[in-house]
Amino acid sequence: MRAIAVERGSEGPTVIERPRPEPADGEALLRTLRVGVDGTDHEVIGGSHGGFPEGEDHMVLGHEAVAVVEDPNGTDLSAGEVVVPTVRRPPAAGANGYFERGEPDMAPDGEYVERGIVGDHGYMAEYFTSPPEYLVAFPEDMWEFGFLTEPVSISEKAFEHAYASRSAFDWSPESALVLGNRSLGLMTLAMLEFGVDSDRSFAEHDFERTYCLGRRERPDPTVDIIEEVGATYVNSNETPLETVSEDFEAMDFVYEATGYAPHAFETVEALAPNGVGALLGIPDSWEFEVDGGRVHHELVLHNKALVGIVNSHVEHFEGAIDTLTELPEWLLDDLVTTVATPEDAKPAFEYGHDQIKAVVEFDRL
Amino acid sequence: MRAIAVERGSEGPTVIERPRPEPADGEALLRTLRVGVDGTDHEVIGGSHGGFPEGEDHMVLGHEAVAVVEDPNGTDLSAGEVVVPTVRRPPAAGANGYFERGEPDMAPDGEYVERGIVGDHGYMAEYFTSPPEYLVAFPEDMWEFGFLTEPVSISEKAFEHAYASRSAFDWSPESALVLGNRSLGLMTLAMLEFGVDSDRSFAEHDFERTYCLGRRERPDPTVDIIEEVGATYVNSNETPLETVSEDFEAMDFVYEATGYAPHAFETVEALAPNGVGALLGIPDSWEFEVDGGRVHHELVLHNKALVGIVNSHVEHFEGAIDTLTELPEWLLDDLVTTVATPEDAKPAFEYGHDQIKAVVEFDRL
Q: What Rg value do the Cα atoms of chain B yield, rounded?
A: 20
Which phi and psi angles does B337 have, rounded to 5°? -95, -20
Chain B positions in Cβ-Cβ contact with residue A303 (cut-off 8 Å): 105-106, 161, 307-310
**Distance from A27 to chain B by nearest Cα, in Å?**
27
Q: What is the pLDDT of residues A337-360, one digit of tens each?
A: 999 999 999 999 997 778 999 999
Point out which residues pair with B234 in neighbouring strands: B213
Q: What is the pLDDT of residues B83-101, one digit of tens each?
A: 999 999 999 999 999 999 9
Across B14-25, average pLDDT: 96
Residues shown for chain A: 365
Q: Give the B window 100-119 contacts with A, CB below 8 Å.
A: 101, 103, 105-106, 108-109
pLDDT number for residue B353: 77
CB A112 within 8 A of CB A94: no
Cβ-Cβ pairs closer than 8 A, A with B, add up to 194
User: How does residue A130 score in pLDDT terms, banded at 50, 70 and 90?
Assistant: very high
Which value does ipTM take for this structure?
A: 0.97
- Enumerate residues 6+ apart whose C-beta is below 8 A from B86: B104, B134, B135, B136, B150, B312, B313, B314, B317
Point out which residues pair with B175 in neighbouring strands: B209
- Determine whether the interchain pair A300/B306 forms a contact, defined as Cβ–Cβ distance below 8 Å: no
Residue type, A163: Y
**Residue B126: pLDDT over 90:** yes
Q: What is the pLDDT of residues A213-244, one digit of tens each?
A: 999 999 999 999 999 999 999 999 999 999 99
Taking domain A155-308, whether its CATH number is 3.40.50.300 is answered by no
CATH code: domain B2-137+328-361 is: 3.90.180.10
Q: Could you give the 3-state DSSP secondary structure of residue A108? A: coil
- Enumerate residues 6+ apart whose C-beta is below 8 A from B241: B179, B213, B262, B263, B266, B267, B269, B270
- Determine whether the interchain pair B301/A310 forms a contact, defined as Cβ–Cβ distance below 8 Å: yes
CA B276/CA A168 separation, integer angstroms: 15
Domain spans, chain A:
2-137+328-361, 155-308
Q: Could you give the 3-state DSSP secondary structure of residue A243? A: helix
A87 touching B (Cβ < 8 Å): no
Across B156-167, average pLDDT: 98
CA A45/CA A62 separation, integer angstroms: 11
CB B4 within 8 A of CB B62: yes
CATH (one of 3.20.20.140, 3.40.710.10, 3.30.360.10, 3.40.50.720) for B153-308 = 3.40.50.720
Which phi and psi angles does A100 have, rounded to 5°? -65, -35
CA A187/CA A193 separation, integer angstroms: 10
Q: Where are the alpha helices (DSSP H) in chain B?
A: 39-46, 97-100, 149-165, 183-194, 221-229, 241-247, 263-270, 292-301, 314-326, 329-335
CA A292/CA B262 separation, integer angstroms: 7
CB B91 within 8 A of CB B324: no
Of B161, B287, B299, the CB nearest to A291: B287
Q: Considering chain A, what percentage of its residues have pLDDT values greater than 90?
A: 95
User: How does residue B323 score in pLDDT terms, banded at 50, 70 and 90?
Assistant: very high
Q: How far lies A278's CA from each of A36, A179, B241, in Å?
A: 23, 10, 25
For A257, which residue in chain B has the nearest alpha carbon? B300
